């Protein structure tokens, strides 16, 4: 790693040998401590950015990243491909079209082509902050794709004791 710096060791190495006493080394370590904390924060954010860049919009990587963030033990979050059903219309007598209906399934409006979602994320009762989840999904999904989240536990409801603003 290019960014592997041990500030305590660097202080001793850069200090001339005739000035190396415990009191001066302690003073310099105290002076460099804020820089060391900034360096630790930099490494933390750097590793997080590398994790974000290692994943992309592909289903397997996308699902893995969501499971890493929200459900690292059981890994229950699944991504389901969007359903693209064509609409079946029932004609009136005035239109003089055939009345044979056959088997018709009742589907939600999200399941039809050009009106619904491109993929569905099944949270499987995994607790997550909905805003944070939407931010993660929007970061990784392809632009222009629509999604639907199912089985997400509801947010806490306001009780009567809490005054609404």
d(CA 62, CA 80): 12
The residues, ordered by sequence, that sit 6+ positions from 129 with a Cβ below 8 Å of its Cβ are none
- pLDDT value at 118 more than 90: no
Q: pLDDT tens-digit profile of 77-106?
A: 888 887 666 666 677 677 777 666 667 777
| Residue 111 burial (C-beta neighbours within 10 Å; 0-12, 13-18, 19+) | middle
Percent share of the chain, pLDDT over 70: 75
Residue 69: name the closest of 156, 143, 139 by CA: 139
Beta-carbon contacts of residue 101 (< 8 Å; ≥ 6 apart): 90
- Whole-number Å distance between alpha carbons of 73 and 158: 30
> Tokens representing 138?
């929007």
| Alpha-carbon distances, residue 163 vs 55, 154, 155, 159, 160 (angstroms) | 43, 20, 17, 9, 7
Angstrom CA distances, 96 to 55, 91, 99, stand at 54, 8, 9
pTM: 0.59
pLDDT tens digits, 34-78: 999 999 999 999 988 888 888 878 888 888 888 888 888 888 888
- Do the beta carbons of residue 57 and residue 140 sit within 8 Å? yes
State how far the Cα of 9 lies from the Cα of 51, in Å rounded to an integer. Answer: 29
């Amino acid at each position: 790693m290019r960014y592997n710096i041990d500030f305590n060791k660097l202080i001793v190495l850069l200090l001339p040998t005739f000035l190396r006493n415990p009191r001066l080394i302690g003073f310099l370590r105290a002076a460099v401590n804020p820089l060391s904390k900034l360096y630790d924060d930099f490494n933390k954010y750097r590793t997080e950015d590398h994790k974000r860049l290692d994943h992309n919009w592909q289903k397997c990587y996308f699902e893995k990243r969501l499971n890493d963030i929200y459900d690292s033990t059981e890994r229950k979050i699944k991504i389901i491909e969007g359903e693209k059903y064509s609409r079946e219309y029932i004609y009136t007598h005035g239109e003089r079209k055939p009345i044979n209906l056959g088997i018709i399934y009742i589907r939600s409006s999200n399941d039809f082509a050009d009106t619904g979602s491109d993929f569905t994320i099944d949270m499987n009762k995994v607790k997550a902050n909905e805003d944070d989840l939407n931010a993660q999904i929007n970061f990784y999904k392809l632009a222009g794709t629509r999604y639907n989240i199912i089985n997400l536990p509801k947010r806490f409801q306001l009780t009567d004791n809490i005054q609404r603003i």
